[in-house]
Structure 1
Amino acid sequence: MNEQTFSLQPFPCNESPPNLKISGNIARNGNKLAIRYMVEGDLKEIAIFPLSNTPSRKHELWKETCFEFFIGIKDSAQYWEFNLSPAGHWNAYYLDGYRQGMQEETAFEKLPFSVQNEADGLTLLLDVDLGKIISVEQAIEVGITTVVKDRGGEVTYWALTHKGAEADFHLRDSFIIQL
């Protein structure tokens, strides 16, 4: 098993980011991927929808508070984007190359994740079988990100690293975790 911890940083901007710490771990065991996000801090200032009784696949989750990760096959332009809402909604997209050919990834009918929302922290856990999209022999590069929307509507962008002049989670240089 290959496991790594991570800590996300807000994109530098004029607004001061919310007083949060976003960290977690990611592990790959064969083609099983497990990722855990932990958000600590003053969550009452963050716009988080309550957990839905009927979570479903939805588009444009990144317009609200959303946990994301990107998986690219090493030495290949293609990659996948995964969006996980703390309300339980989700989506997965396949892209041919940098922001090109984006389409819903139909290999997944659901993404099994859980959310624990406490007063001083939120934990999101996902276990997914990647065998539907990649082979176990393929090395992958992962970018881990989060969009945080506060109650006033301000949005901050968090990532392992920010390589562009603007917040851009799709830049392959930011897929820095090797699994």
Structure 2
Amino acid sequence: MSKQTFSLQSFPSTESFPDFKITGNISRNANQLVISYNLEGDLKEIAISPPSNAPSRKHELWEDTCLEFFLGIKDSQRYWEFNLSPAGHWNVYRFDDYRQGMQEETAFEKLPFSIQNQTDALVLALDVDLDKIVSVNQAIEIGITTVIKHRDGEVTYWALTHRGAEADFHLRDSFIVEL
């Protein structure tokens, strides 16, 4: 198992928030994927939904503050998008190719993760068994991303790297973490 740390960057054309940062770590042990996000800074400027008493699978979580990652099988066009809301809601979508064949991934019936929301930090951690979608011997490539919606309604896009002229988390050459 190798744990890798990360730091996300905001898309260059969006307003920068110097006192805000998104860091974390990711690891894979056999087919258990563990990812933890740390949002630090002036969180009262960010629209964060309060925790839900009944977290569930929901669509279009990316329209609000949403922590995400994209997982692809090395040397394959297929990939998955994992959406995690600070409110506890979640979804996983499968794609056959770049933005093609999007469908809800039914292999996951729930996606439990923990959330710690403090005044100046939000920590979200997910521990997920990938056996349902990839085999333990398949190498995977990951793009780690976050959509931040500010209280004024402005949205900023954060990722490990931005490879397109516009913020586009689906670009496979931005899946730069290999596990």
- State whether TM-score is above 0.5: yes
- Shift in Å at residue 17 of structure 1? 3.7
Runs of 4+, deviation exceeding 2 Å: 14-19
| 1:137 alignment partner AA | N
- 2:68 is aligned to 68
2:173 corresponds in structure 1 to: 173
Structure 1 residue 15: Cα displacement: 2.7
2:117 is equivalent to residue 117 of structure 1:
yes
Higher mean Cα deviation, 14-23 or 97-106? Answer: 14-23
TM-score (normalizing by structure 2)? 0.98
> What is the aligned partner in structure 1 of residue 98 from structure 2?
98
Deviation string 1:75-118 (CA, Å, 9 cap, x unpaired) is: 00000000000000000000000000000000000111010000
Mapped pair 1:157 → 2:160: no
Corresponding residue of 1:141: 141
Gaps of 5+ in 1: none
1:66–1:85 CA contact under 8 A, matched in 2: yes
Change (3 A) 1:39 1:167: same
Give 1:14 deviation, angstroms: 4.9
Report sequence identity in percent: 75
Contact 1:82 1:91 in 2 (8 A): yes
Q: Is the 8 A contact 2:10 2:16 kept in 1?
A: no
Listed as ranges, the matches of 1:74-89 within 5 Å are 74-89=74-89
Aligned to 1:29: 29
2:14–2:156 contact (8 Å) kept in structure 1: no
Mapped partners of 2:133, 2:116: distance in 1: 28
Cα drift, residue 18 of structure 1: 6.4
Tell me, in whole angstroms, the C-alpha distance in 1 between the residues paired with 2:156 and 2:18. 8
TM-score computed with the length of structure 1 as normaliser: 0.98
Q: Specify the alignment match of 2:40 in structure 1.
A: 40
What residue number does 1:12 align with?
12
Flag structure 2 segments of 5+ consecutive residues without an equivalent: none
CA RMSD of aligned residues (A): 0.8
Higher mean displacement: 109-118 or 6-15: 6-15
Q: Tell me, yes or no, if the aligned pair for 1:98 and 1:171 is still in contact at 8 Å.
A: yes
1:2 aligns to 2:2 (yes or no): yes
